[in-house]
Amino acid sequence: MLDFKFIREHPDVVRKAIKNKNEKADLDKLLDLDVQRRRLISEVENARAEQNKVTQKIAEMKKAKQDASQVIAEMRELSENIKTSSEQLRQIEEAIHEIHIRIPNIPHDSVPIGDETHNKEIKTWGTLPEMDFKPLPHYDLAEKLNIIDFSRGANLAGSNFIAYRGAGARLERALINFMIDMHVQKHGYTEVLTPFLARRDVMFGTGQLPKLEEDMYHIPNEDLFLIPTAEVTVTNLHREEILMGDDLPVKYTAFSPCFRREAGAYGKETRGLMRVHQFNKVEMVKFVKPEDSWDELESLLQNAEDVLQALDLPYRVLTLASGDLSFAAAKCYDIEVYAAGLDRWLEVSSCSNFVDFQARRANIRFRRQKGEKPEFVHTLNGSGLALPRTVIAILENYQTDEGTVQIPAVLRDYMGMDMIKSST
C-alpha cells in the first residue's frame, strides 16, 4: 500500500493514479476522515493527560482526607468522554483502512497512460514459423496425439480443467525442470517450494485481496485460499522480517500450480489451454534495495526472455499501459509468444516492479547497516514462464505436416525423446 504521509502530501498524484488505473477509491473521503482522525487523536491525548492530572488530584485529596466526590464525578464524566471518543476513533480508523487498502500503486513515469490499446511494443525476437501446410491449433493437435484429455479433465473438476497424459504430461514436467534449472544455474536464483494454500493476510500482502477475492478459490472453514500464483507465498516468505542490506538482492524461483476462478471471464476465448482454472507456472521473485529496483526489473525481464530464446520461440515484449497494469504494480512488461496454429500472440510472462507497495502490506524491511533504521525493500516478480501458453506455442510452432511435434533441442534430454508422435 502507499505510505499515508505520501497520500496526505501528494493527493493530486494519488488521485491521478486512481484514475489512470481505472480503480475506485474515494480519496476525498479518505482525506476528510484523516482530518477527523487527527483531531480525535489530539482530543483523546489531551483528555488522557487531563485524566492523569485528575487521578493524581483525587489521590492527593484522599490522602489529605478531603471530600473528592465532586472531582470523582468529573473523572467519571471525563472517562466516559474518552471512551466515546476512542470508539469514534476506532470506527474512523477502520473506515480509513478500508479505503486505504483500495488505493492502487502509482504507475512509474515511463508507463503509457490509457487502456490496453495503449500498451507499447518495445521489442520482438525470433522469426515467425513458415509452414507449407495449414498448422493445426493445439487443441486439435493434442487430441490427435492423445497427449491432453480435455473431456476427462472436465469430468473430474468441471469446465476449463484439463488432464495431461503420456508425452503431454512429460512435456509439462520437462518444461518445469528446464525452467527451474535455468533460473538456478544460469540466473542465480534459489529454488524454493512453498505451500499451495495461503492465509488471508498473506493474500493481502501481495495485493490479491481484497480486490480479486471473487477470482480466488476459497476454503471457508479454514479461511485459506488456493494460490493464484507462487508470487503470493514466495513474496510472503519474508513477511514481518528485517533483512540485512548485504544480503540483497534475494532471488527465489519456484514451481507451483496456480488456481484461478476467472470470475467474469466467460465469453472470452476459453478453448483448449487458452484459459484454464488450474495451470502450472514457474515464478521468479526478487527482494532488492530501492535504488536497484529498476535495473533489477530489466534483468528480471531478460531472465524470462532467456527461457523463450532457449526454446527458440518467437516473442514480443510490451510495456503495459496504466489501465492494463495490475493494482499493485508500478510497471509491468508482458511477454507474448507467437502461436502458429492460432495465429496469435499469447501472454506467457508478466514481469513487474511493485517498488515498496507489497513490502508495506507484508511489512518486509531491510537494514543497510547494523543498528540503522529499517527501510522497506522493493519487490519484483515475473513468470518464468507460465506453462499453458508455452505448451501451446511449442505444439503449434514445432508441429510437422505428418501431425507429429518436434521437441525443442533444450528439452530433449529432459523428455528422453526428440519427437511426439502419439501417447497411448
| 3-class secondary structure per residue, the chain | CCCHHHHHHCHHHHHHHHHHCCCCCCHHHHHHHHHHHHHHHHHHHHHHHHHHHHHHHHHHHHHCCCCCHHHHHHHHHHHHHHHHHHHHHHHHHHHHHHHHCCCCCCCCCCCCCCCHHHCEEEEEECCCCCCCCCCCCHHHHHHHHCCEEHHHHHHHHCCCCCEECCHHHHHHHHHHHHHHHHHHHCCCCEEECCCCEEEHHHHHHCCCCCCCHHHCCEEHHHCEEECCCHHHHHHHHHCCCEEEHHHCCEEEEEEEEEECCCCCCCCCCCCCCCCCCEEEEEEEEEEECHHHHHHHHHHHHHHHHHHHHHHCCCEEEEECCHHHCCCCCCEEEEEEEEECCCCEEEEEEEEEECCCHHHHHHCCEEECCCCCCCEECEEEEEEEEEHHHHHHHHHHHCECCCCCEECCHHHHHHHCCCEECCCC
Clarify whether residues 88 and 122 are in a common domain.
Answer: no
Q: How far apart are CA 417 and CA 131, in angstroms?
A: 23
Clarify whether residues 279 and 415 are in a common domain.
Answer: yes
Q: Is 110 within a domain?
A: no
Q: Is 105 within a domain?
A: no
Clarify whether residues 199 and 247 are in a common domain.
Answer: yes
pLDDT of 266: 52
**With 0-12 CB in 10 A as exposed, 13-18 as middle and 19+ as buried, what is 192?**
middle
Clarify whether residues 346 and 405 are in a common domain.
Answer: yes
Domain of 311?
A: 116-420
Clarify whether residues 93 and 126 are in a common domain.
Answer: no
Q: Is 395 within a domain?
A: yes
Q: Is 281 within a domain?
A: yes
pLDDT of 325: 97
CATH number of the domain to which 17 belongs = 1.10.287.40
Cβ atoms within 10 Å of 408's Cβ, excluding its own: 21
Clarify whether residues 61 and 173 are in a common domain.
Answer: no
Q: Is 107 within a domain?
A: no
Q: Is 169 within a domain?
A: yes
Clarify whether residues 251 and 391 are in a common domain.
Answer: yes
Q: Is 317 within a domain?
A: yes
pLDDT of 286: 98
pLDDT of 270: 74
CATH number of the domain to which 301 belongs = 3.30.930.10
In which region does residue 207 sit, left (phi positive, over 0), alpha (psi from -120 to 50) or beta (all else)?
left
What the block records as the C-alpha cell of 396 is 503449434
pLDDT of 423: 66
Question: Are the C-beta atoms of 248 and 288 separated by less than 8 Å?
Answer: yes
pLDDT of 68: 79
| Average pLDDT per block of 10 residues along the chain, 424 residues long | 97 98 97 96 90 83 83 84 92 97 98 97 97 96 96 95 97 98 98 98 97 95 97 98 98 98 62 95 98 98 98 98 98 98 98 98 96 97 98 98 97 97 74
Grid cell 531478460 in the structure block, residue: 302
| Domain boundary, last residue among 100, 130, 162 | 100
Q: How far apart are CA 359 and CA 1, in angstroms?
A: 8
Q: Is 109 within a domain?
A: no
Domain count, the chain: 2
Clarify whether residues 84 and 211 are in a common domain.
Answer: no
Clarify whether residues 51 and 125 are in a common domain.
Answer: no
Q: How far apart are CA 334 and CA 320, in angstroms?
A: 7
CA diameter of the chain: 108
pLDDT of 57: 82
Clarify whether residues 256 and 133 are in a common domain.
Answer: yes
Catalytic residues, which ones? 260, 275, 347, 350, 389
Closest to 240 (Cα-Cα) out of 202, 277, 266, 274: 202
Clarify whether residues 76 and 202 are in a common domain.
Answer: no
Exposure string of 246-277, with b = 16+ CB inside 10 Å and e = fewer, is eebbbbbbbbbebbbbeeeeeeeeeebbbbbb
Q: Distances from the Cα of 386 to the Cαs of 15, 242, 302, 309, 348, in angstroms?
A: 34, 31, 15, 15, 5
Clarify whether residues 64 and 198 are in a common domain.
Answer: no
| Domain boundary, last residue among 57, 75, 100 | 100
pLDDT of 74: 81
